[in-house]
Amino acid sequence: PDQPPAGCPQQTPPKAQGPELFTWEFATDPYPAYAWLRENSPVHRTTLPSGIEAWLVTRYADARQALADQRLSKNPAHHDESAHAKGKTGIPGERKAELMTHLLNIDPPDHTRLRRLVSKAFTPRRVAEFAPRVQELTDGLIDDFAGRGEADLIHEFAFPLPIYAICDLLGVPREDQDDFRDWAGMMIRHGGGPRGGVARSVKKMRGYLADLIHRKRLAPGDDLISGLIRASDRGEHLTENEAAAMAFILLFAGFETTVNLIGNGMYALLTHPEQRARLQKALAEGDMGLLETGVEELLRFDGPVELATWRFATEALTVGGQRIAAGDPVLVVLAAADRDPERFERPDTLDLSRTDNQHLGYGHGIHYCLGAPLARLEAQAALATLLRRLPDLRLASDPADLRWRGGLIMRGLRTLPVEFTTA
Ligand code: HEM
């Protein structure tokens, strides 16, 4: 009589563990999993594919608070050493010491000093003056495929644009920029960690930058590297090593992010025809307002930064009601926070005219993206020029056949095949 009826489980099923993360399905569309986490386990303990245990913060209010909480350090030295002792790999804590002095790995007061110095050279004015060059680069890349009627917008457009733009801005001579393109390509194809070919590319890039900085010190120009060398604050300058690390992080932080903002953004426009038509109409009428709000909305709706916002608890603390131990890694999931219905009306709807849109796509607090003005400039030029010059641009693939990179750090398409009528 105490036998359960046939078909009933003998035991209480284990407590729901939540959706499977880090699968191909997740890489293709992580948003259902993020919704589940926000709802059921907003500060979620998970094991990353590298074996590292980390907390995922997915609600907007918690994410914003965590990004601004100084007890959560960017310095990987605060990570629980035991994970390293067990030989687990794949987090910034294992980066080489000489890469450690950049903005995304340090806390105040060093961060404050370096950020103040770089802000003197990388000014909004410098970016604004760069607009004509970005337009020229954008048009040049489109010229190369406009007569063909088809293209892969990732490889032929979204990928080269940011790398040439940042090289120009830094002052890397044109004849060396294709080397940068190759090194960056290696880094993007083989993921975040400095292993194998990636390690070699990072090494070559650093060697090149150190040499370039040395040359710019002897013969300064009007470029950002010369500006970094010149920048001084209260009698302080960047050391040669700091300047090299700064140039490296500007390249590294500003490259794949922008590739994917352009790629994800164009994909979202191509799969939301009314929104795209609205934008095309506004652009034809010379109304740039919708382009500006639209690029912010594309970043909120499907931003490039997935799990790249590492923090390490310097002491025990509580986030969203969850106790976190000293040394624990915390990942603020910006893409999940930016779809939080508690903060955004109809969060899963793409609305290019959304104005109440304080998204976290560029982060928040002292590490707020230094390159946001440049990213906006590039994305606005890229999307507007594509729509203007190739007005009947359409996907040349079933969206279901498109492959997303499953790198966890960045969310972006591997390819974006399109067709259009040639002019
Ligand atoms: C920081 C996103 C483009 C340079 C950040 C952070 C985010 C972000 C989320 C904060 C990370 C954290 O708090 O852990 C993006 C997105 C971009 C973009 C979505 C493009 C769509 C750029 C560009 C550059 C750049 C073009 C430079 C050329 C930086 C730097 C930091 C940073 C230097 C570190 C700032 C600091 O720690 O003080 N970015 N970024 N980013 N970004 Fe960007």
172 pLDDT above the threshold of 80: yes
- Distance CA(229)–CA(375), nearest Å, equals 23
Instruction: Give residue 83's pLDDT.
Output: 47
Band (195; pLDDT cuts 50, 70, 90): low
Q: Tell how far the Cα of 367 is from the centroid of ligand 1, in angstroms.
A: 8
Instruction: Give residue 306's pLDDT.
Output: 81
- Check residues 198 and 176 and name the one with the higher pLDDT: 176
Instruction: Give residue 252's pLDDT.
Output: 83
For the Cβ of 92 lying below 6 angstroms from any atom of ligand 1, the answer is no
For the Cβ of 250 lying below 6 angstroms from any atom of ligand 1, the answer is yes
Give the mutation target among 163, 257, 307, 380 for probing the ligand 1 site: most ligand atoms within 8 A of CB: 257
For the Cβ of 261 lying below 6 angstroms from any atom of ligand 1, the answer is yes
Closest ligand 1 atom number to CA of residue 304: 19
Give the mutation target among 266, 369, 376 for probing the ligand 1 site: most ligand atoms within 8 A of CB: 369
For the Cβ of 247 lying below 6 angstroms from any atom of ligand 1, the answer is no
Asked if 34 and 333 count as a contact pair (C-beta separation under 8 A), the reply is yes
- Distance CA(90)–CA(105), nearest Å, equals 15
- Check residues 409 and 226 and name the one with the higher pLDDT: 226
Instruction: Give residue 86's pLDDT.
Output: 41
349 pLDDT above the threshold of 90: yes
Instruction: Give residue 407's pLDDT.
Output: 62
For the Cβ of 265 lying below 6 angstroms from any atom of ligand 1, the answer is no
Is 57 in a helix, a strand, or coil? strand
Question: String of b and e for 69-99 (b: at least 16 CB within 10 Å)?
Answer: bebbbbbbebbbeebeeeebebbbbeeeeeb
- Distance CA(219)–CA(232), nearest Å, equals 18
- Looking from the CA of 248 toward its CB, the CA atoms found within 13 Å total 27
Closest ligand 1 atom number to CA of residue 332: 14
pLDDT over 70, % of the chain: 88
Q: 170: closest CA among 132, 216, 214, 124?
A: 216
- Distance CA(236)–CA(114), nearest Å, equals 10
For the Cβ of 363 lying below 6 angstroms from any atom of ligand 1, the answer is yes
Asked if 422 and 389 count as a contact pair (C-beta separation under 8 A), the reply is no
Instruction: Give residue 24's pLDDT.
Output: 87
For the Cβ of 375 lying below 6 angstroms from any atom of ligand 1, the answer is yes
Q: Cα-flanking dihedrals φ and ψ of residue 418, to 5°?
A: -130, 160
Q: Cα-flanking dihedrals φ and ψ of residue 297, to 5°?
A: -70, -40
Asked if 382 and 262 count as a contact pair (C-beta separation under 8 A), the reply is yes
Q: Tell how far the Cα of 235 is from the centroid of ligand 1, in angstroms.
A: 27
Q: 158: closest CA among 415, 371, 420, 391?
A: 415
323 pLDDT above the threshold of 70: yes
Asked if 144 and 407 count as a contact pair (C-beta separation under 8 A), the reply is no
Of 212-216, 240-244, 266-270, 331-335, the one with minimum mean pLDDT is 240-244
Closest ligand 1 atom number to CA of residue 311: 14
12 pLDDT above the threshold of 90: no
Q: Tell how far the Cα of 368 is from the centroid of ligand 1, in angstroms.
A: 7
Which own/partner pairs from 384-388 qualify as long-range (CB within 8 Å, at least 24 positions apart)?
Answer: 384/283, 384/291, 385/135, 385/138, 385/139, 385/142, 386/142, 386/153, 386/157, 386/266, 387/269, 387/276, 387/279, 387/280, 387/283, 388/283, 388/284
- Distance CA(221)–CA(215), nearest Å, equals 10
- Looking from the CA of 1 toward its CB, the CA atoms found within 13 Å total 0
The residue type found at 238 is L
Instruction: Give residue 239's pLDDT.
Output: 85
- Looking from the CA of 22 toward its CB, the CA atoms found within 13 Å total 11
Closest ligand 1 atom number to CA of residue 249: 33
* Residue owning the nearest CA to atom 30 of ligand 1: 370
Instruction: Give residue 351's pLDDT.
Output: 98
* Residue owning the nearest CA to atom 1 of ligand 1: 369
Average pLDDT, the chain: 88
Out of 13-17, 127-131, 303-307, 406-410, give the one with best mean pLDDT: 127-131
* ipTM score assigned to the predicted complex: 0.98
- Check residues 186 and 39 and name the one with the higher pLDDT: 39
pLDDT tens, residue by residue, 51-64: 899 999 999 999 99
Tell me if the pTM is above 0.80.
yes
pLDDT tens, residue by residue, 80-135: 654 444 444 344 444 445 655 789 989 999 999 999 999 999 999 999 999 999 99
Closest ligand 1 atom number to CA of residue 379: 21
Q: Tell how far the Cα of 417 is from the centroid of ligand 1, in angstroms.
A: 27
Q: Tell how far the Cα of 9 is from the centroid of ligand 1, in angstroms.
A: 50
Q: What is the DSSP string of 376-421?
A: HHHHHHHHHHHHHHSTT-EESS-GGG--B---SSB--BS--EEE--
For the Cβ of 254 lying below 6 angstroms from any atom of ligand 1, the answer is yes
389 pLDDT above the threshold of 90: yes
Band (35; pLDDT cuts 50, 70, 90): very high
Instruction: Give residue 94's pLDDT.
Output: 40
Structure tokens at 249: 């992080």
DSSP 343: T
2 pLDDT above the threshold of 50: no
* Residue owning the nearest CA to atom 23 of ligand 1: 254
pLDDT tens, residue by residue, 222-265: 999 999 998 877 788 888 888 888 988 898 888 989 999 999 99
Closest ligand 1 atom number to CA of residue 102: 37
Residue 284 CB neighbours (<10 A): 11
For the Cβ of 104 lying below 6 angstroms from any atom of ligand 1, the answer is yes
Q: What is the DSSP string of 195-245?
A: -HHHHHHHHHHHHHHHHHHHHHHHS--SSHHHHHHH-EETTEE--HHHHHH
* Residue owning the nearest CA to atom 4 of ligand 1: 371
Instruction: Give residue 231's pLDDT.
Output: 86
- Check residues 127 and 195 and name the one with the higher pLDDT: 127
Asked if 79 and 329 count as a contact pair (C-beta separation under 8 A), the reply is yes
